[in-house]
Amino acid sequence: MYAKIMSASVLGIEGRFIEVEVNICSGLPQVSVVGLPDSAVRESVERVRAAIQNGGMKFPLDRVTINLAPADLRKEGSAFDLAIAAGILCASGQVNENLLENALFIGELSLNGTVRTVPGVLSMTELARRAGIRRVVVPEAAVAEASLISGVEVFGISSLADWLNGGADPAPGESGQRSRAGFDKEKLRSFGSTGRQPGFVSADDLDLADVVGQEQGKRALLVAASGMHNLLFVGPPGTGKTMLCRRLPTIMPPLGDEEALEVTKIFSVCGKLGGASSPGLVRRRPFRTPHHTISTAGLIGGGSIPKPGEVTLAHHGILFLDEMPEFSRVCLEALRQPLEDREVTIGRARGVCRFPARFMLAASMNPCPCGFHGGDTTDRPCTCSPAAIARYRARMSGPLADRLDLQVQLPRQTAHAPASGGMTSARAGEIVADAAKRQRLRYAKHGLQWNSQLQGPLLRKYAKLSPDAEALLQQVYAQLGLSFRAHDRILKISRTIADLAGREAILTEDVAEAINYRSLDQPLEG
* Confidence band of 16 (pLDDT split at 50, 70, 90): very high
- Quick one: what percent of the chain has pLDDT higher than 70? 87
Confidence check: pLDDT of 377 > 70 = no
Q: What is the pLDDT of residues 120-144, one digit of tens each?
A: 999 999 999 999 998 999 999 899 8
The pTM for the full model equals 0.85
Confidence check: pLDDT of 385 > 60 = yes
How remote is the C-alpha of 386 from its chain's centroid?
A: 39
Q: Please state, rounded to an integer, the average pLDDT across all residues of the chain.
A: 85
Distances (CA, A) of 251 to 223, 259, 433, 472, 495: 11, 17, 9, 31, 19
Residue 9, burial from CB neighbour count under 10 angstroms (0-12, 13-18, 19+): buried
Give the integer Cα–Cα distance in Å for 71 and 34. 8
Q: What is the pLDDT of residues 330-367, one digit of tens each?
A: 999 999 999 999 999 988 776 788 999 999 999 999 88
What pLDDT score does 376 carry?
56
198-212, 403-417, 424-438, 495-509: range with lowest mean pLDDT? 198-212
Residue 379, burial from CB neighbour count under 10 angstroms (0-12, 13-18, 19+): exposed
Closest residue by Cα to residue 231 from 84, 384, 408: 408
Whether 485 and 215 have beta carbons less than 8 Å apart is answered as no
DSSP state of 521: G
> Residue 183, CB half-sphere, CA atoms under 13 Å: how many?
27
> Residue 471, CB half-sphere, CA atoms under 13 Å: how many?
3
Give the integer Cα–Cα distance in Å for 270 and 311. 13
Give the integer Cα–Cα distance in Å for 228 and 496. 9
Q: What is the pLDDT of residues 272-289, one digit of tens each?
A: 876 555 556 788 899 999
Q: What is the pLDDT of residues 136-193, one digit of tens each?
A: 999 998 998 898 888 899 999 999 888 777 655 555 544 333 333 344 444 444 344 4
Whether 409 and 521 have beta carbons less than 8 Å apart is answered as no
CA angle (192 as vertex; 252, 11 as ends), nearest 5: 90
What pLDDT score does 415 carry?
59
304: CB partners within 8 A, 6+ apart:
348
Distances (CA, A) of 54 to 64, 111, 426: 19, 7, 55
Give the integer Cα–Cα distance in Å for 139 and 106. 7
270: CB partners within 8 A, 6+ apart:
119, 307, 308, 313
Any idea how long the chain is? 526
**Single-letter residue type at 183:** F
What pLDDT score does 314 carry?
95
Distances (CA, A) of 258 to 1, 153, 181, 195: 45, 21, 8, 21
**Single-letter residue type at 481:** G
Confidence check: pLDDT of 34 > 90 = yes
What value does the mean pLDDT take over residues 46-67?
93
Closest residue by Cα to residue 392 from 293, 330, 323: 323
Give the integer Cα–Cα distance in Å for 167 and 467. 73
141: CB partners within 8 A, 6+ apart:
116, 117, 275, 276
Q: What is the pLDDT of residues 449-459, one digit of tens each?
A: 999 999 999 99
- Enumerate the β-bridge partners of residue 115: 109
41-45, 162-166, 270-274, 389-393: range with lowest mean pLDDT? 162-166
Give the integer Cα–Cα distance in Å for 171 and 173. 7
What pLDDT score does 22 carry?
95
What value does the mean pLDDT take over residues 407-411?
89
132-136, 213-217, 425-429, 500-504: range with lowest mean pLDDT? 213-217
Residue 40, burial from CB neighbour count under 10 angstroms (0-12, 13-18, 19+): middle
Q: Does residue 415 or residue 258 have the better pLDDT?
A: 258
Give the integer Cα–Cα distance in Å for 53 and 441. 60
**Single-letter residue type at 421:** G
What pLDDT score does 236 carry?
87
Q: Does residue 329 or residue 380 have the better pLDDT?
A: 329
Whether 284 and 200 have beta carbons less than 8 Å apart is answered as yes
Whether 251 and 426 have beta carbons less than 8 Å apart is answered as no
Closest residue by Cα to residue 2 from 30, 26, 23, 29: 23
- Quick one: what percent of the chain has pLDDT higher than 90? 57
Give the integer Cα–Cα distance in Å for 149 and 275. 17
Query: Residue 108 phi/psi, 5° resolution?
Result: -105, 145
